[in-house]
Structure 1
Amino acid sequence: MKQNNILLVGLMLITSMSAFAKVGDLQQEVKIKAVSQTADIKNNQIIFFGPVEVTQGSIKINANQLRAFSAEGENSKILVATGNPATYSQILDDGRPASASAKEIRYEMATRTLTLTGSATLDQAGSQVTGNLIRYDIIQQKLIAESTGSGDDRVITIIKPDNYQEELKNQPADKPVKKQDPK
């Protein structure tokens, strides 16, 4: 019975990550493919070893390892995907693609916070933010990006012009977007 509870907690963690995905995604099943998994019942934790692939509707997570657990002494559920890099992609309600990659992608269910650590990139409809750490508060829709502060390491933001984003939105999925002539 306790192992069923831990598996249910793991699946709840993964589905909660889809809080900002298409509504239809939330009604889809969660499918986890992994080479192996272990359940630490005493510590309420499941670890999937990979490559690991998680899908739910348009949401896709790829990682070398995926860990689902509750923080000690709290009822807070946490999902941590690690890889070189771990990746997250989805289609938003408006049909635009969004993706993220980092060495570690951490989602805290209680605070609805997504934290990307290590060579982090967040990309939405061609615009992109990169840095060593990117934290996104889903509820307040606030983003914080940080660099290590050493050497040439900086936070970089690239914003594509509106005409590029409109062209991308209207482009069929199987056709590449043509580059704008900078003249």
Structure 2
Amino acid sequence: MHRTVLFGLICLVLFPLNVAALESDRNQSVLVEADEVEMDFGSGKRIYRGNVSIRQGTIRILADQIELFYEGEQLHHAVAQGNPAVFRQRPDGKNHDIVGTSRTIELDEIHNIVTFITEAQLRQDRDAIEGERIVYDMARDRMTVRGGTTTPTRTTRAGEDAQTTLSQSDAGRPRLVIQPDDARAPDKDPPPSANSTETRNETPFETVQAYVGDKGAPTFAGQSLTTAPLGTLTAGTPVRVLRTLDGWAQVNTPRGVPVWIYGKFVSSRAGLGTVTGSGVRLRSTPSTGADSRVIGEASSGQKVWVVSVHNDWKQIEAPSNLKVWIPASRIQKSTDAQRWKDDWRSLARTGNPG
């Protein structure tokens, strides 16, 4: 199926969420992408299926399927479903995104209510609230959190994978997690990511030669849609599959993944440059704040391609030994080893290790 790109049809579904949105979000165009769109003009229902992505300014929604229900020309409500469905937004005056995830997200346009259902979580920076059902009434500025009867509560801290399962008597109860202001010193870097060998030892595995499929592949810092997004690999990009796990593939790619590095450790401000420091951290954003995830390191003398400059930071195309995660469904195994090697070499920039 051809990927469908529609502008404007989804605008109203985002309006209930812009109470906390940046002013600039309201003036941005809306982009909806899906593998398939079904419109029933009789019932007023529109269904977007397959890798559904909605973007408007700082707002992003990712889901397997989104249904829109209209009464006449007025949008009544919408339902997003995924494993999980993800909502991300940068509120006014805040330095960190609000990220909400659940199996189902319901958007009530009439009553201005957002409901996260099943394995629901809302978090911002180091604070998180979880439950089986979270109802946010924005018109009244009120939130209700309910737990399930058997589902263990999972508590998280942004950027970490630790989890706590409560005893049976506490299972399913919602929990609000508020990290103290001094939990992390402001001048201290976040802990290394799961890509770093400092945090865990990886078992040996056999790599697989593959290509990105016709739909392209979004890249992430971790094995989840809620981790830092790193861009999109175009169709036909050769990748080295390091391992697959729960529908995800950890890969290397010769180029195409933009990351950030502290500027003084790269010799050039544009084009090909040389890393001048040892073990310099590569980050998802140009910052050392909590939202900036460490996703790897660059070695002294390594050649990198500088894409852009932002204050003291430089955006580079990541070295080909950087490990990133993509949905496993977006790749196809290569059947021609020599062709794959040739494609890898031709795509890699001069000096980029591969």
The within-5 A match list for 1:130-149 is 130-149=130-149
Partner of 1:37: 37
Q: Which residue pairs with 2:173 in the alignment?
A: 154
- CA 1:43 to 1:167, structure 2 compared with 1: closer, same or farther past 3 Å? farther
Question: Structure 1: which 5+ residue stretches go unaligned?
Answer: 1-6, 179-183
TM-score by length of 1: 0.81
Structure 1 contact 40–46 (Cα < 8 Å) conserved: yes
Residues 44 and 70, structure 1, Cα contact 8 Å, conserved in 2: yes
Q: State the aligned residue count.
A: 168
> What are the superposed Cα offsets for residues 16-56 of structure 1, whole Å, 9 maximum, x if unpaired?
43332111101000100100100010011110001100000
CA contact (8 A) 2:8 2:29 kept: no
- Give, in whole Å, the separation in 2 of the partners of 1:141 and 1:18: 13
Unpaired runs of 5+ in structure 2?
1-6, 151-167, 191-282, 293-354
Where does residue 50 of structure 2 map in the other structure?
A: 50
Deviates more, 1:156-165 or 1:75-84: 156-165
CA distances 1:109-135 after superposition (whole Å, capped 9, x unpaired)? 111101000000011222111110000
Query: Which of 1 and 2 has higher RCO (CA within 8 Å, sep 6+)?
Result: 1
Preserved contact between residue 61 and residue 88 of structure 1 (Cα < 8 Å): yes
Give the aligned partner of residue 4 of structure 2. Answer: none
Shift in CA distance, 116/166, structure 1 to aligned 2, threshold 3 Å: farther
SS at match of 1:19: coil
The one-letter amino acid of 2:18's match is: S
- Cα distance in 1 for partners of 2:30, 2:185 equals 31
Alpha-carbon distance, 1:9 to partner: 6.2
Identity %: 23
Q: Distance in 2 between matches of 1:22 and 1:43?
A: 34
Report SS of the residue matched to 2:14: helix
Q: Is the 8 A contact 2:8 2:30 kept in 1?
A: no
Partner residue, 2:77 = 78
What is the rounded CA distance, in whole Å, between the counterparts of 1:23 and 1:101 in structure 2?
23
- Confirm or deny: 8 A CA contact 1:17 1:109 kept in the other structure: no
**Matching of residues 154-173 of structure 1 within 5 Å:** 154-163=173-182, 167=186, 173=285
8 Å Cα contact 1:14-1:30 kept in structure 2: no
Instruction: Tell me what 2:18 maps to.
Output: 18
- Pick which of 140-149 and 59-68 moved more: 140-149
Q: Kindly provide the CA deviation profile for residues 74-99 of structure 1, in whole angstroms up to 9, marking residues without a partner as x.
A: x6611111000000001110123101
| CA distance 1:39–1:21, shift in 2 (3 Å) | same
Detail structure 1 runs of 4+ shifted over 6 Å in the superposition. none
Match for 2:175: what amino acid? Answer: I
1:108/1:129 CA distance change after superposition, 3 Å: same
Aligned partners of 1:165 and 1:12: how far apart in 2? 39
Alpha-carbon contact 2:45-2:69 (below 8 Å) kept: yes
Contact preservation (8 Å) 1:15, 1:56: no
> What whole-Å deviation, never above 9, does each CA across 1:125-152 have from its counterpart, x for those lacking one?
2211111000001122111000123452
Q: Select the structure of larger CA radius of gyration.
A: 2
> What residue number does 2:91 align with?
92
Q: How far apart are 1:165 and its partner, in Å? A: 9.0
